[in-house]
Structure formats: C-alpha cells, structure tokens
Structure 1
Amino acid sequence: MTNPQRLRAATPRWRRSLAATLAAIALTATLAGCDSPGTAPAQGASDRPVVLTTFTVLADIAQNVAGDKLEVQSITKVGAEIHGYEPTPQDIAKASKAQLILDNGLNLEAWFGKFVAELDVPHVVLSDGIEVMDITEDANAGKPNPHAWMSPVNVQHYVANIRDAFIELDPENREHYTTNASAYTAELKALQENLLDGLAGLKENERALVTCEGAFSYLARDAGLKEKYIWAVNAEQQATPRQIVSVIEFVKENQVPAVFCESTVSDAPMQQVVQGTGAAYGGTLFVDSLSEADGPVPTYLQMIRHDSDVILEALAGGTK
C-alpha cells in the first residue's frame, strides 16, 4: 500500500487549501446533521455507495465489476493527463463523500498522496500483486513503470483487487461482484489471446513497438515485442535531440516498419523519427484516458482492441 510518509508530504499552500476545504465540508455536514460517526455511509445521486478512481480507465474497469450495486466515478476527466493532474477543492469535497478510492499506484498519480493525506476514506492500490517492471532510461530510471494497466494480463490482477475491495465494502453482494469479475476476466483473457494470434504472423523486425512514451512496456513484455520510446514518462519538457536520435537509430537498425504516439501528447517528435527513418506513422494509441462515449475508445476493452488493431495493421505494412 501507499507509504504513510509520502501521504503526509504536502506543500504549505496545498495544506492550507486542503484544510480550508475539509473544514468547510465538516461544517456543512454538522449543520446538515449528516456524515457524523455512526450514521449511514454517504451515497451517490443514485443512492448507491460511491467509489472514486483516479482516472477514467480504472473507473470503467471497476464499473464492470460493480455492475448496478455501486456508483463508480473518475476524479479526472476524459482526455486528462494523469501524471501531473492538479486536484481541485471540488475533487477533495467529492472524495470526502466516497466510500472507497481506487488508485493505480506505482508512482503514477504523483498528486495522490497529498489528495488523500487528510481524508478519512479507505483506498486500495490496484496494481498490487503484479510483476512490476522498472523504467530503464532517463531521470526516472530505476522507478517502477506505472502503466501496468496496458497489459490485459495485469488487469486481471486489477480486477481481483477490485472484486476483493468491493466485497469488503459490500459483503452482502459478494456473489454479484465475484460473477462480474469472472466474466470480465474471461474477456481480458480473450483480448490477450487475440493479440498474440495477430502477432504470430509478423516477421522478426516487425515485432517491435516504438512509441512516444514508454507506456507499453507491460504490453510489449506480455506480447513478446521489443520496445523503444522517446521518453519514459510524460513530462512538461519536450523531447531532446538525443532521445530522438536514439529512437531513429533503433528504428533503422531493426528495420521497424511503423511507429506510434499517444493521444494525450503531441506526435511532433515522432514525426521527426518518421522523417529520419522512412518508417510509417502507424497511428494514435490510447493510454491514460478513455474517450467520450461517442469516441473511438469509450471503454477499456475497446481501448485495448483499438490499440492492438492499430499496432497489428501498421506493423504488418498498413497504417491506421
């Protein structure tokens, strides 16, 4: 679970804002005569207990396990950059009313420790139990790669952790959560098998995944792909010439047919790789956020299907 000392770390300005927000929440609860010790847990608009997740991908996975018994919400919105998110007082107020908070862990949500430091709400780290991969390049070398959800193999662990957390929260509906988790796990296994079947027909040089961010390490590992990226973790600074040259050399040396970038960042650095190698720009991949309901990836399963289809088609000689 999260290090308690890290949870307490906060800037003075944050603590003043947080303390003021929590004080206002407490005052409102007192005046309303609710949320005091011994009263029933706060409910969502649908009268179901509220579970918060840190970003939309986790919310969708959790909702598949929750079914109609819990209301699952995401703190961050569709399209948000999760790494450097800045929580708002409204986020804190919402979290104070939740029954449970689910986060990814692995240092993904750099803001999360401050967010929950003074909230009396239990939280569960969904990446617990996976085989963690370390980042091997840049300033983050040696730290855990946080993008574990990009492998359907890992998400099976996420689902088990969600199921157990929901059963602890709402033991009367144990069978409901267990059944939903089993059904969703079966879909995850099918996704992984389909990806492996598609990759089986590729030539050796085509079995390489080159992206802007190192967000596909787990997917590459579990699919038997070589991996190369421009930067390890999204940051505010732009790609350096050295990073771009390193990717160009990798693509040339391995004769990689296509390269990719993620939806939440600019593909301009990867276009330099395209110009320097003649590789095709294979398309846009989704990682940190789902799309709106009418977009290409409104659910996690559709996100993995989309990314797998784009990768397979481009590496086999087409683009998407």
Structure 2
Amino acid sequence: MAKTLGIQRFSIPGRRRILAALAGGALAMAAPFAWAADGPLRVVASFSIIGDMVKEIGGEHVALTTIVGPNGDAHSFEPTPRDVQALSQAQVLVINGMDFEGWLPRLIKAADFEGAQVLASKGVTPRQLNDAAHGKPSHDGHDHHGDDDSGHVHHGDVDPHAWQSLGNGMIYAENIADGLSLADPENQASYKKRAQAYIEKMKALDVEIRQALDAIPADKRKVITSHDAFGYFAQDYGIQFLSIAGFSSKAEPSARDVAAIVDLARKEGIAGVFIENTTNAKLVEQVARETKAKVGGTLYSDALAPADQPAATYLGMFTWNAGQLLYVLQPTQ
C-alpha cells in the first residue's frame, strides 16, 4: 500500500506496520464582512479538530485561536474570561454546529461577537440519533444513554461527530475555505489551493483504509468504545461500534447498562475494546476484564492529541485511529 502521510509511531510492531501502510455556502454572517488586509485574519475555532483544519487551509494568512484544545472535552467545557476576550477580538468564528458546542451561544453573547460564523458541517448528511445504531439494529437499546433527562448534554436529533467521516472532512474543508475566502478575498486563491491539497490527502487516506479493511470479514468488525462518537466512521467502513455510554462523554451508564454491554460482547465475539482520549477509562477497562477482549488502546474522537503526538492533526488522528482498529481487528496469526 502506498505510503502517503508519513506518520508512524506505535509501541507495538504490529501497529507500526499497519500505521506505516496507512500513512503513506458555509458562511453564516451576522452582517456583511470582509477583513481589511492589515495583518493575518483573526480566526477562532471552537475545538481542536476544527482548529487543525483552519490551520491547514489558512496557513500564514490566519492567526488562529482554538477554544477547546487538545484532549479537551467539548461536552463538558465551560468558557473562561480568556475565551471571551479571544472571541471578542476575532473576525471569524469557525464551528462544527449540529448542537455539538452547547456552550457556544453563551460565549458569543458574552463576547458580543458580531463577526462571520463559518458552519463547517454545512451540507453534511447528518446521522439521525434515532437511526439504527451504527448502521445496524440496536441489540438492546443501550446505544443512546446520554439522551435522557438526567442532566447530560443533548445533541438534538442528530449525531454531531460528522468529522469522523473523511468524506465529511472534505465538506468541512470546502466550507472553511469558502468562509475564509469571503472574509479575506485577497487570499482566496491560497485558501482554495490549500483546501484542495488537503482534500486530496483525505481521499488518499480513505482509499488506504478501505483497502486495509478488505482483508477483515464484515462479521468480525466489532469493537467497544467509551461513548458513541464513531457512527460516521462505522457507516463509512462497516465497523460496528458498541458504546458503553451515549453520545455525550458526560453520560454515566448504569451498572445494568455495563452488564448488558458485557453480555452482548461475549455473545458476539467482540474483537477489542478502546479507550477514548476525552473519557474515563475505568468502565472500558472493566468491560475488557470481564469479556477478556483485547485492549486496543486509545482512540481520538472529540479532540486531537497534544502537538508532539501522532494524532495531533486531523489526518494524524484518522491514521492513528484506523491503525489501532486494524491492529485489533486483523485475524490472529
């Protein structure tokens, strides 16, 4: 398989081989706005994944501030005075939307922000929360634990984690390029060129992941994760993710919920369990002990890793996650 991205770090040789094989109108404006070219366009991104996309597309023409940083949990985030100040000085705000940033309206009001808002997810086909879980019928009704009246974060009627599809990532890139271009027409050619190069990398990685998964039988592509953040990834690649919690990482599953997941994992021969970088690992470790399933390490769902780690970029995150999953799902030699 062609090596296109060149990101390679794993402590386990099998994972290193897999990763090396893999690595190889969006603008909603409060008022008409174009930034005078007296310096970089000041842009605020709502969380780290969106921030990395803005960085890739904006390059030197953008001065970026990211509100929820690496390993940050956007579900439980609370804005600080520093965030208010950053947004009050910004010309453009780039967000995911789909009710993901529940704290954002309060921040916009506190900052009295009247600049351009770029909705990165505009045009994405949303995954409905009442759809069959991960493209397959729910076995026990335990796939949406966070969507009750217990104080957990609600996401309306759609799954907001649309960036977990590279196809959607391409839509995000186009929307961000369009938004930056409208706010800063002088550098439109640069934004469009960088976005297209970025999209080509996404296309190449998508092909590599699909080719790698071809060797794994469809009925063996079953894993457990902390919360339900990988539905779009599941739809793209035919992997069944069983989540211990619901769509919000703040959801607290009951003992009955955990027992049901353990029972289901035993019945269906789950290949492995994964910890997410923004969630508590204790429940995942408990399920792994009780099912004797392989522990697959960390997956990145709602936030990137710090700058010195392989999953510190959107493409790096996707490459890392795919490598982790393929290592666990591949047949035992």
Fold agreement, TM-score > 0.5:
yes
Distance 1:40 1:262, change over 3 A: closer
Say if 2:35 and 2:183, in contact at 8 Å, map to a contact too.
no
SS at 1:265's partner residue?
Answer: coil
Residues 145-179 of structure 1: per-residue CA shift (max 9 Å, x gap): 11111111111110010011011011122211111
Aligned equivalents of 2:313, 2:227: Cα separation in 1: 21
Distance 1:78 1:264, change over 3 A: same
Q: How does 1:264-303 map to 2 (within 5 A)?
A: 264-303=278-317
The one-letter code matched in structure 1 to 2:116 is P
TM-score (norm: length of structure 2): 0.79
1:108 to 100, 107, 112: 100
Q: How does 1:114-125 map to 2 (within 5 A)?
A: 114-117=106-109, 118-125=112-119
For this pair of structures, how many residues does the alignment match?
Answer: 283
Q: How does 1:36-55 map to 2 (within 5 A)?
A: 47-55=39-47
| Deviation for aligned residue 1:267 | 1.5
Cα-Cα RMSD: 2.5
Say if 1:205 and 1:256, in contact at 8 Å, map to a contact too.
no
Unaligned runs of 5+ residues in structure 1 are 8-37
Say if 1:196 and 1:223, in contact at 8 Å, map to a contact too.
yes
The one-letter code matched in structure 2 to 1:244 is V
The residue that corresponds to 1:144 in the other structure is: 158
The residue that corresponds to 1:129 in the other structure is: 123
| Deviation for aligned residue 1:67 | 1.7
The residue that corresponds to 1:218 in the other structure is: 232
Say if 1:282 and 1:315, in contact at 8 Å, map to a contact too.
no
Q: Does 1:243 align with 2:257?
A: yes
Say if 2:145 and 2:253, in contact at 8 Å, map to a contact too.
no
The one-letter code matched in structure 1 to 2:97 is G
| Deviation for aligned residue 1:233 | 2.4
Q: How does 1:180-259 map to 2 (within 5 A)?
A: 180-236=194-250, 238-259=252-273
The residue that corresponds to 2:49 in the other structure is: 57
Distance 1:59 1:193, change over 3 A: same
Distance 1:300 1:308, change over 3 A: same
| Deviation for aligned residue 1:41 | 5.6
Say which one has the larger Rg: 1
The one-letter code matched in structure 2 to 1:289 is A
Q: Between the two structures, name the one with larger relative contact order (CA 8 Å, sep ≥ 6).
A: 2
SS at 2:274's partner residue?
Answer: strand
2:81 to 86, 89, 94: 89
Aligned equivalents of 2:324, 2:162: Cα separation in 1: 20
SS at 2:90's partner residue?
Answer: coil
Q: Does 1:315 align with 2:329?
A: yes
Say if 2:276 and 2:300, in contact at 8 Å, map to a contact too.
yes
SS at 2:226's partner residue?
Answer: strand
Distance 1:111 1:2, change over 3 A: farther
| Deviation for aligned residue 1:50 | 0.9
Identity %: 28
TM-score (norm: length of structure 1): 0.82
1:174 to 185, 188, 201: 188
| Deviation for aligned residue 1:134 | 2.1
Distance 1:100 1:253, change over 3 A: same
Say if 1:252 and 1:277, in contact at 8 Å, map to a contact too.
yes
Say if 1:212 and 1:260, in contact at 8 Å, map to a contact too.
yes
The residue that corresponds to 1:21 in the other structure is: none
The one-letter code matched in structure 2 to 1:182 is Q
2:68 to 76, 81, 85: 76
| Deviation for aligned residue 1:252 | 2.0
SS at 2:74's partner residue?
Answer: coil
